[in-house]
Amino acid sequence: MLSLIVSVQVKPEMRAEFLPAIAENALRSVTDEPGCLRFDVAEAVEEPNRFFFYEIYTGANAFADHKAAPHFAAWRAVAERCLVPGSQVNTFAHLQVTESAAA
């Protein structure tokens, strides 16, 4: 499995546009893409408008499918307007251990 941790800084004046757009991208990713197993969005506690995405894919092909999805293209258009230029940092990792509590 392939995990991706993304860090972005949102322009404060664009927050209202960013939040529903990333929520839609996350939802479409896990519902429309069989290879996207998880898509979490979190905001830094002590740094407003700094967001982290945690995504898990079944592999590199699933991530390629994600980038080719129509909802990803829509998200990228919003990201161009909302993110501070140069603030996005992507870190790819091979998932070694994953645990979660029962719901």
Residue indicated by tokens 């939040």: 19
- Identify the pLDDT of residue 103: 66
- Identify the pLDDT of residue 100: 82
Task: Please give the model's pTM, rounded to 2 decimal places.
Answer: 0.90
What pLDDT digit, counting tens, does each position of 48-78 carry? 999 999 999 999 999 999 999 999 999 999 9
What is the rounded CA–CA span in Å between residue 30 and residue 37? Answer: 6
- Please give the mean pLDDT across all residues of the chain: 95
Cβ-based neighbours of 54, under 8 Å, separated by 6 or more: 3, 4, 5, 38, 39, 40, 42
Q: Which class is domain 2-94?
A: alpha beta
Confidence of residue 96 (pLDDT cuts 50, 70, 90): confident
SS3 53: strand
